[in-house]
């Protein structure tokens, strides 16, 4: 049962082949069996999950249930969950119990989904490998010696290992798409403002966006349907109508115009990854799409731009964690200054402190114009590149990550090399565009992700393009070895 799609599981629930309680227990058993080795979850909520499953079963029997009713999911531990620990992967929030639900959480609850627990993540979503978490490294189900990607690595690894049907994540510079690529699953970053950020603990407010990690584009459409839409509690939420994301999945691709940026196929791209992307693009040609070379001339500046803008915003957002109002507080402070200093130095990890320092410097008097303002100007140039490209093409394709998953510890002591892991994903965040990563042919037994970027609020088109490839191939159906224990239902 753990290998079935949301639609297939929903059909079985409505047919009475099994109950949501049965399904939830089966996934909790899988977590108990496998997660000690993977470390995907920070917090489990079995009693709450079973209670939600019972409620979902009643809703299903009434005949009024939607497609997500009774489906076991997980939330990245960056989303506030009422009465349940929300840590952001940090010692700073190790004891924080959220007093309310994030909009993403409440909307999935309203849809009848069953939350199994909260997944591990890079501390405050800062990282590309899920090695910065206070709760330890998450391991890639395809090879326990490899990272799963970050910062949504716990969610990606949990979906890949079939410990939940789907999971939520957040994407600030690639943190849904990159772990999806490294774990061989589908990850969707919607347009900035498409999904509410209310109750999602902020890293960089102008870049953060919530989205789903799932086995397929079809499943991603079902999750996005539930969480998308305007929210008056989020001032950045877009008042755009939400289409039926499943309605266009089967649309033919004849006449689709695909752009391949020459900047994404350079010497930094692994040769086997490039070959896998080329094979996937060939499939699109076979389905009737037209492929053309394009240029995004300022994309090479995206990493440098991001690592000014994001740290600047994080330094501001994380200033609230001072040891006074909530979060970690040092023991026996001598005075207020000592309370601030020791609470923050003891509560934050090395990567978070590094970014706070960079951001504070960039925003300081005398450097604001030279760094932050200049980065915002380049950000506009990057957005203009995409605008001009979308006058010629419908979607832009390329690799999600320059390499497959790398070894745990391989880049941990080299922040600059680690930052380059997101070189192909960051530009979409700077421009606020939607992007999706889907699995294509593996390279040396490791998953490879194809990234598809669309124009603003064109998530339905992205899901359609991704789904059509998944109809014609079985790359997304591959499962890591060792996670196929038989289910009792």
Give catalytic residue positions.
76, 151, 175
**Residue 336: φ, ψ to 5°:** -65, -40
Kindly report the number of other CB atoms within 10 A of residue 14's CB atom. Answer: 15
Secondary structure of the chain in HEC code, one letter for each residue: CCCCCHHHHHHHHHHCCCCHHHHHHHHHHHHHHHHHHHCCEEEECHHHHHHHHHHHHHHHHHCCCCCCCCCEEEEECCECECCEECCCCCHHHCCCECCCCCHHHHHHHHCCCEEEEEECCCHHHCCCCCCCCCCCCCCECCECCECCCCCCHHHHHHHHCCCCCEEEEECCCCCCHHHHHHHCCEEEECCCCCECCCCECCCCCCCCCEEEEECCHHHHHHHHHHHECCCCCCCCCCCCCCCCCCCCCCCCCCCCEEEEEHHHCCCCCCHHHHHHHHHHHHHHHHCCCEEEEECCCCHHHHHHHHHHHHHHHHHHHHHHCCCCCCCCCCCCCCCHHHHHHHHHHHHCCHHHHHHHHHHHHHHCCCCHHHHHHHHHHHHHHHHHHHHHHCCCCCEEEEECCCCCCCECCCCCCCHHHHHHHHCCCHHHHHHCCCEEEEEEEEECCEEEEEEEEECCCCHHHHHHHHHHHHHHCCHHHCCCCCCCCCCCC
Is the bond leading into 151 cis (omega within 30 degrees of zero)? yes
CA distances from 156 to 230, 311, 346, 364 (A): 26, 24, 29, 37
**Residue 70: φ, ψ to 5°:** 85, 0
Closest CA to 150 of 118, 190, 121: 121
Cα dihedral 218/219/223/226 (nearest 10): 50
Please give the radius of gyration of the chain, using alpha carbons only, rounded to the nearest integer: 21
């Amino acid at each position: 049962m753990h290998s079935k799609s949301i639609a297939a599981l929903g059909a079985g629930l409505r047919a009475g082949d099994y109950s949501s309680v049965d399904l939830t227990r089966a996934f909790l058993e899988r977590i108990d069996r496998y997660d000690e080795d993977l470390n995907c979850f920070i917090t489990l909520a079995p009693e709450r999950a079973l209670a939600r499953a019972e409620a979902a079963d009643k809703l299903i029997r009434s005949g009024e249930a939607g497609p997500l009713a009774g489906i076991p999911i997980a939330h990245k531990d960056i989303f506030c969950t009422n009465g349940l620990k929300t840590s952001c992967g940090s010692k700073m929030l190790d004891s924080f119990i959220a007093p309310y639900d994030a909009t993403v959480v409440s909307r999935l609850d309203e849809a009848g989904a069953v939350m199994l627990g909260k997944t591990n993540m890079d501390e405050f979503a800062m990282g590309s490998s899920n090695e910065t978490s206070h709760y330890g490294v998450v391991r890639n189900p395809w090879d326990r010696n490899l990272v799963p990607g970050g910062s949504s690595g716990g969610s990606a690894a949990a979906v890949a290992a079939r410990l939940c049907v789907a999971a939520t994540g957040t994407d600030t510079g690639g943190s849904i798409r990159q772990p999806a690529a490294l774990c061989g699953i589908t990850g969707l970053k919607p347009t900035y403002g498409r999904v509410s950020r209310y109750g999602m603990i902020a890293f960089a407010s102008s870049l953060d966006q919530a989205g789903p990690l799932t086995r397929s584009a079809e499943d991603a459409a079902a999750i996005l349907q539930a969480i998308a839409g305007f929210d008056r509690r989020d001032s950045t939420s877009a008042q755009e109508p939400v289409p039926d994301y499943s309605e266009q999945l089967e649309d033919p691709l004849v006449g689709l115009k695909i752009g391949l940026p020459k900047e994404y196929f350079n010497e930094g791209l692994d040769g086997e990854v490039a070959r896998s992307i080329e094979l996937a693009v060939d499939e699109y040609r076979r389905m009737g799409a037209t492929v053309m070379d394009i240029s995004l001339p300022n994309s090479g500046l995206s990493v440098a731009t991001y690592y000014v803008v994001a740290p600047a915003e994080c330094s501001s957002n994380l200033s609230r964690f001072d040891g006074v109002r909530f979060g970690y507080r040092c023991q026996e402070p001598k005075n207020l200054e000592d309370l601030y200093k020791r609470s923050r130095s003891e509560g934050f990890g090395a990567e978070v402190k590094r970014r706070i320092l960079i951001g504070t410097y960039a925003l300081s008097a005398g450097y604001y114009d030279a760094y932050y303002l200049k980065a915002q100007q380049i950000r506009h140039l990057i957005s203009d590149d995409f605008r001009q490209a979308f006058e010629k093409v419908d979607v832009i394709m390329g690799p999600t990550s320059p390499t497959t998953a790398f070894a745990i510890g391989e880049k941990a002591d080299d922040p600059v090399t680690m930052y380059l892991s997101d070189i192909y994903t960051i530009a979409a965040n700077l421009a606020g565009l939607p992007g999706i990563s889907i699995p294509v042919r593996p390279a040396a037994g490791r998953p490879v992700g194809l990234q598809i970027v669309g124009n603003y609020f064109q998530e339905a088109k992205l899901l359609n393009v991704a789904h059509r490839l998944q109809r014609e191939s079985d790359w997304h159906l591959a499962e890591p070895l060792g996670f196929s224990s038989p289910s009792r239902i």
